[in-house]
Structure 1
Amino acid sequence: MSGVGIGQRPQNRRQKAVKLLWTGIWLAYLSAPVGDLLHGGHSDGVRVLGWIGLAAFVSWYFALLFRTGRGEANAVVLGSVAVLATQSTVLAITLGREWLVLFVYVAISSGAALPFPLARWTVPAVSALLTGVALAVPGGTSFLAGLLLPALLGGFSMTGVRQLIRTTVELREARATVAQLAANEERLRLARDLHDLLGHSLSLITLKSELAGRMLPAHPDKAAQQVADIEQVSRQALVDVREAVSGYRRPRLAAELAGAKVALTAAGISADLPAEPDLTGVPEDSETALAWALREAVTNVVRHSGARRCTVELLRRQTLDGPVLELSVADNGSGGAGSTAGNGLTGLTERLENAGGTLAAGGTRHGFRLTARVPASAASADVGSAT
């Protein structure tokens, strides 16, 4: 941006020039004291002192506005406003009522340079000082009506503009923070997707490669079939990764049940899986979360459990929070995922929580069990996300 707002200090020459031009426009209201010096009938000595006083006032006024935002303590800024007020008082009392306009500049500069908790006191104080000096200067009351309202309105309007600029800056910073959080969330989603996709696919490729190796050279036809399966799984894994990177992949529970049966059978594990699931009324996010849960659970059974049997159950249950769909994967292996949750279970927990569901996993007397629950209706999904 080429400009700079009230309450902010210029950062470069262009911003300094813009702020100088914008501030300088308002110096046109100094025509009254300038006209008094030129045509007020003052002696030469008084004129010289008047010009010096006016130059000092304008210089201090610009210094105060241009120093705003450099981190000075409020006491320093307040002292600068007091200097301006003192100069205005001396010039108005010694040179006449035309100089009362300087108090308007003092009120505006205090509103622009001071935070509102202080400005709400300094602006009325400057206006009160203006009133007192106007009553003391001959003919000052005739100028008071035209200067008191601009001093009050100008000072408080500057506090509003200053606060508006500060709010705008905070909103920009907040928007940048939100964008950073969104980027972090997208990276986390991509990491979860790649872990789940590649972990499952690579486990299946490894199993089929081992089978093909054991079948050679005695059963070349069967080994060739395993190699063909490896090619198919690899191609599908590549498609899945591309879709995951694009953010469009939503696994379906029916497809994951079929894939789980293939993976378990290839690993020599007896699989007991439900038939085609009835997902009527189940939100898409809930189905997706359960599909990922099934994939992660079966991958862990194949890779870690050493089990000979795996049972998958899919049930609808009624809870206090509404109907839920429960997926249970149990095996008779050695305990499966270890004593601590790995990346897979951690990412899976996050997926289920995002869908309003829960995850429970742990060893049993006969192996390992993973239980995932998700809302089975849109209403219960809204309740789960709210809690």
Structure 2
Amino acid sequence: MSGMTDDQLSEEARREPLIPIGQPARKRRELWRRKLLWIGVWLVFLSSPVHDLVSGDHTTGGTVAGWLGLTVFVVLYLSLLFRDMGATPYHPRLIGSLIGSMAVLATALSLTLGSAWLGLYCYVSVACGMVLPLRVAFWTIPATGATLLLVGLRTDEEEALNLLLLVLLIGFAMTGVSQLVRTTIELRQARATVAQLAANEERLRLARDLHDLLGHSLSLITLKSELAGRMLPEHPDKAAQQVADIEQVSRQALVDVREAVTGYRRPRLAPELAGARVALTAAGITAAIPAEPDLDGVPEESEAALAWALREAITNVVRHSAADRCTVDLVRRQTLDGPVLELSVDDDGTGGSGKGPGNGLNGLTERLDKAGGTLEAGRDKRGFRLTARVPAGSTPDVGSRS
């Protein structure tokens, strides 16, 4: 892509997240990888309880009860967070019951088995921050810290004080992460809605144009047909005149429809560039688009083909790519077959489903073939790239420029 070096492209690739936040997982393996990243990182706090159980400092009954309580606690924690990250989270009342059960288990195990179990309150705080609504998490997280201090007075006050700041920090940090994920999901849904509304508006515009063109003509044809039918037995000459008028009106209507459809099917490149900028901005995608295209000597058919290519590419970017940035370049090139005008559309998204070209790209290929052009589309190391080339006609004499 012009204007960017290989180092810049590599830097963009490094900044691209390995696991996009808020983006739906395309594969089951990716879904499990996300869950293990967000949930498994906190399992480090289990090291103290496990070490306490294997050290042999408790009776056999105490050890068995400890393992059983720890297993139930971890199952509650994992089921709560795994279900919350899935498509159908638990009912709010059940969520409250599960978090309450975790807090009760953490308290009981800490009071009976010692201060090594105080780290379980970190899991209670994480669950409050990730699962509960923001206004509820703002008082349940401090309540978890207060419970930790009260239990620490009976077990190890110094250890409880050391864990207090950590419990509060990770709890409130998880509220931020949870809000970020929810906001990102809402933004992606809004992008899809904007794309759908844009498509609906385009269909409505065409429907309005055809209605305005044909409404009057078809009404007049219907009226004159009724008049001709009533006049035909007794006044054939007047009926013939009505039939002639019907022919004239229908021919004019056909001309109007052809002009309307031709105008619709042959868009201009400058308005399409402006529309692409508006569509990308509305979808929350950073757009880099040239302001005024140089179309001197470019045949109308070539311009229309590039305009269609741009429209299809931008539609795909908005609806399917989940991109954050899109760049459009329009340059003239001199080839062995003559001058060409090249349009390239690059985005840093996922590139769609990856199941091969759809109807849109197949239709573009046919349009460009008719205009003597070519189409290239596919994924690259940054995202997805579409390149369309059409004959550009004669180019200015570069040797005459000073």
TM-score (norm 1): 0.50
User: Letter of the aligned partner of 1:186 in structure 2?
Assistant: E
Give the counterpart of 2:105 among 87, 103, 107. Answer: 87
Secondary structure (helix, strand or coil) at the match of 1:42 reads coil
What's 2:141 paired with? Answer: 123
User: Letter of the aligned partner of 1:37 in structure 2?
Assistant: L
Secondary structure (helix, strand or coil) at the match of 1:130 reads helix
2:261 pairs with 1:241 = yes
Task: State the distance in 2 between where 1:83 and 1:232 align.
Answer: 78
Report the alpha carbon displacement of residue 200 of structure 1 after superposing the two structures with TM. Answer: 7.0
Task: State the distance in 2 between where 1:236 and 1:9 align.
Answer: 49
Q: Percent identity?
A: 47
2:203 pairs with 1:187 = yes
Question: 1:316-357: CA deviations, max 9, x gaps?
Answer: xxxxxxxxxxxxxxxxxxxxxxxxxxxxxxxxxxxxxxxxxx
Question: 1:76-116: CA deviations, max 9, x gaps?
Answer: 21111111111111111111111110001111112212111
2:181 pairs with 1:165 = yes
Task: State the distance in 1 between where 2:33 and 2:264 align.
Answer: 51
User: Letter of the aligned partner of 2:99 in structure 1?
Assistant: V
Report the alpha carbon displacement of residue 194 of structure 1 after superposing the two structures with TM. Answer: 2.1
In the superposition, relative to structure 1, how do residues 90 and 233 fare at CA in structure 2: closer, same or farther (>3 Å)?
A: closer
2:49 pairs with 1:33 = yes
Report the alpha carbon displacement of residue 181 of structure 1 after superposing the two structures with TM. Answer: 2.2
Task: State the distance in 2 between where 1:42 and 1:152 align.
Answer: 30
Secondary structure (helix, strand or coil) at the match of 1:72 reads coil
Report the alpha carbon displacement of residue 203 of structure 1 after superposing the two structures with TM. Answer: 9.2
Secondary structure (helix, strand or coil) at the match of 2:90 reads coil
Question: 1:153-210: CA deviations, max 9, x gaps?
Answer: 111222222222222222222332222222222112111222334457889999xxx9
TM-score (norm 2): 0.49
Question: 1:261-294: CA deviations, max 9, x gaps?
Answer: xxxxxxxxxxxxxxxxxxxxxxxxxxxxxxxxxx
Task: State the distance in 2 between where 1:183 and 1:167 align.
Answer: 24
2:110 pairs with 1:103 = no
Asked if the contact 2:210/2:257 (under 8 Å) is kept, the reply is no
2:53 pairs with 1:42 = no
What's 1:78 paired with? Answer: 96
In the superposition, relative to structure 1, how do residues 181 and 104 fare at CA in structure 2: closer, same or farther (>3 Å)?
A: same
In the superposition, relative to structure 1, how do residues 245 and 87 fare at CA in structure 2: closer, same or farther (>3 Å)?
A: same
Asked if the contact 2:21/2:184 (under 8 Å) is kept, the reply is no
Secondary structure (helix, strand or coil) at the match of 2:58 reads coil
Q: Which runs of 4+ in 1 moved over 4 A?
A: 1-6, 8-14, 198-206, 227-237, 245-248
Bigger Rg, which one: 1
Asked if the contact 1:4/1:10 (under 8 Å) is kept, the reply is no
Task: State the distance in 2 between where 1:81 and 1:10 align.
Answer: 30
User: Letter of the aligned partner of 2:262 in structure 1?
Assistant: R
In the superposition, relative to structure 1, how do residues 147 and 43 fare at CA in structure 2: closer, same or farther (>3 Å)?
A: same
Task: State the distance in 1 between where 2:54 and 2:250 align.
Answer: 98
Secondary structure (helix, strand or coil) at the match of 1:127 reads helix
Task: State the distance in 2 between where 1:16 and 1:165 align.
Answer: 16
Give the counterpart of 2:31 among 7, 15, 29. Answer: 15
Question: 1:54-88: CA deviations, max 9, x gaps?
Answer: 22211121122123263533222111111111111
Asked if the contact 1:4/1:19 (under 8 Å) is kept, the reply is no
What's 1:196 paired with? Answer: 212
Task: State the distance in 1 between where 2:27 and 2:77 align.
Answer: 19
Report the alpha carbon displacement of residue 39 of structure 1 after superposing the two structures with TM. Answer: 2.6
Task: State the distance in 2 between where 1:67 and 1:228 align.
Answer: 69
Task: State the distance in 2 between where 1:79 and 1:9 align.
Answer: 29
In the superposition, relative to structure 1, how do residues 72 and 10 fare at CA in structure 2: closer, same or farther (>3 Å)?
A: farther
Report the alpha carbon displacement of residue 14 of structure 1 after superposing the two structures with TM. Answer: 5.2
In the superposition, relative to structure 1, how do residues 42 and 194 fare at CA in structure 2: closer, same or farther (>3 Å)?
A: same
User: Letter of the aligned partner of 2:189 in structure 1?
Assistant: E
Task: State the distance in 2 between where 1:86 and 1:117 align.
Answer: 22
The 5 Å alignment of 1:175-324 reads 175-198=191-214, 237-246=257-266
User: Letter of the aligned partner of 1:95 in structure 2?
Assistant: L
Asked if the contact 1:194/1:244 (under 8 Å) is kept, the reply is no
Task: State the distance in 2 between where 1:73 and 1:231 align.
Answer: 65
What's 1:52 paired with? Answer: 68
Asked if the contact 2:99/2:128 (under 8 Å) is kept, the reply is yes
Q: How many residues are treated as equivalent by the alignment?
A: 236
Report the alpha carbon displacement of residue 12 of structure 1 after superposing the two structures with TM. Answer: 4.9
Contiguous gaps of at least 5 residues in structure 1: 218-222, 249-387
In the superposition, relative to structure 1, how do residues 172 and 5 fare at CA in structure 2: closer, same or farther (>3 Å)?
A: closer
In the superposition, relative to structure 1, how do residues 161 and 147 fare at CA in structure 2: closer, same or farther (>3 Å)?
A: same
Asked if the contact 2:45/2:120 (under 8 Å) is kept, the reply is no
Asked if the contact 1:37/1:50 (under 8 Å) is kept, the reply is yes
In the superposition, relative to structure 1, how do residues 205 and 101 fare at CA in structure 2: closer, same or farther (>3 Å)?
A: same
Task: State the distance in 2 between where 1:11 and 1:84 align.
Answer: 31
Task: State the distance in 2 between where 1:110 and 1:94 align.
Answer: 24
